Structure 1
Amino acid sequence: MGTTYLHAVASLDGYIADERDEVGPLHDWYFSGDHPLVDDDHPEVHGAPFKVSAASAEYVRGMWARQSVLVVGRHQFDLTNGWEGHPPASDHVVVVSHRPKPDGWHPEASYHFATSVEEGIARAQELAGDGEIGVGAGDVGGQALALGLIDHVAIDVVPVVFGRGKPFFGTLTDGHLMLGDPDVVIQGTGVLHLRYPVRRAPS
């Protein structure tokens, strides 16, 4: 099955956006370097061509190249309008939502809707083949982690403190969850890339 990783950019205190869903400076590093991430990244959707530092480019290009499916919640889909059918990375997107895809919305885009986190990850596994599965942080990602459906936690930490906002892990209700030591530590410009393996409970 495809490797799953929970991923997002976060503030030092663990927020992926403020209370109004504004990301502030969290994504500035995506546009402040000299190294393009992809040849055609639909700037009309994403705001500007992605250009990052050399260290970030090597890491992000590898992650995006391996990612076949992205799993997000309905809130992120609505905020971005599904990136108009052009996600930053992946061939397919699975949206966890109790509401169906909007009528007539980009019928050519490979977007799939699932009514639960379990169903969404299962559908992503079917679509991924040998590719990896990225799971957006927040409530959906936190639920997937709590359900044991995540293999790695990847955080791009930006040196800003929000104080309050939307937490990276959503609301975890099962207490402490201990991860392994980071197997990726890369210093970019204005961002620190970290990846932690998720410890599996003995079977």
Structure 2
Amino acid sequence: MGTVIMHNVASVDGFIADENDEVGPLHDWYFNGDTPVTGGGDQHYDHSGSGSRIKVPRASAEYVRSVWDAMGTIVMGRTLFDLVNGWEGRPPAGEHVVVVSHRPKPEGWHPEASYHFVGDVTAAIDKAQELAGDRIVAVNAGDVGGQILAAGLVDEVAMDVVPVVFGSGKRFFGGIDKQHLLEDPHVVIQSERVLHLRYKVRR
């Protein structure tokens, strides 16, 4: 089975959005760089299926490309799904999406897309790994990501830290209320307006 990585862009004080789910400058580095991120066959990645082409700082490009190329399934919560309308059935990376939700997929919503709605986090990771095979399962941080970490189902934590302080908002680890130890970071990449960090979860 593939590695389960909890990931998000975050402020230095650990927020992934403000109280209104606005990301402010957190994603600016995706567009202000000089290096397009391309996948297999030189296909350009765009921003969540919106047509806004990703151009990251040169120091970030190889790291972002390698992670996105290895991604098989994204796991997200229903709040994010509703906010972005499931990226209109075209996830930014990977072929499959698992949505943790007690509500079913909206009737008639992009029937061609490989989106699966599952009622709890354990079943969501099982389904995501089944779909991903030996590729990465990427878990969006936030409340659902925190629940998956608390359940012991996350292998690594990856953060793209942007130099901004939010002060309040939606936390990277959601409402998690128990201590979890991580190993020393095995990825540390200093780039322009973003620091890429990746930690293995200590077992």
TM-score (norm 2): 0.95
Alignment of 1:73-92 (within 5 A): 73-92=77-96
The residue number in structure 1 matching 2:97 is 93
The residue number in structure 2 matching 1:193 is 196
2:62 maps to 1:58: yes
The residue number in structure 1 matching 2:109 is 105
Structure 2 stretches of 5 or more lacking a match? none
Residues 113-171 of structure 1: CA deviation (Å, up to 9, x unaligned) = 10000110000011111111000000110011011100000000000000000000001
Structure 1 stretches of 5 or more lacking a match? none
How many residues are paired up? 199
Alignment of 1:122-137 (within 5 A): 122-137=126-141
- Counterpart residue type for residue 121 of structure 1: I
Compute the RMSD of aligned alpha carbons.
1.2
The structure 1 segments of at least 4 consecutive aligned residues displaced by more than 3 Å after TM superposition are: 40-47
In the TM superposition, residue 40 of structure 1 has moved relative to its aligned partner by 3.7
> Percent of aligned pairs with the same residue?
63
In the TM superposition, residue 52 of structure 1 has moved relative to its aligned partner by 0.5
- Counterpart residue type for residue 140 of structure 1: V
In the TM superposition, residue 45 of structure 1 has moved relative to its aligned partner by 3.7
Q: What is the CA–CA distance in structure 1 between the aligned matches of 2:62 and 2:120, rounded to whole Å?
A: 34
- Counterpart residue type for residue 138 of structure 1: G
2:183 maps to 1:180: yes
In the TM superposition, residue 44 of structure 1 has moved relative to its aligned partner by 8.5
- Counterpart residue type for residue 181 of structure 1: D
Q: What is the CA–CA distance in structure 2 between the aligned matches of 1:115 and 1:27, rounded to whole Å?
A: 29
Q: What is the CA–CA distance in structure 1 between the aligned matches of 2:168 and 2:136, rounded to whole Å?
A: 31
In the TM superposition, residue 46 of structure 1 has moved relative to its aligned partner by 3.2
Change (3 A) 1:97 1:44: closer
Q: What is the CA–CA distance in structure 1 between the aligned matches of 2:100 and 2:3, rounded to whole Å?
A: 19
Q: Secondary structure in 2 aligned to 1:69?
A: strand
Q: Secondary structure in 2 aligned to 1:171?
A: coil
Residues 94-117 of structure 1: CA deviation (Å, up to 9, x unaligned) = 000000000110111111110000
Q: What is the CA–CA distance in structure 2 between the aligned matches of 1:89 and 1:66, rounded to whole Å?
A: 9
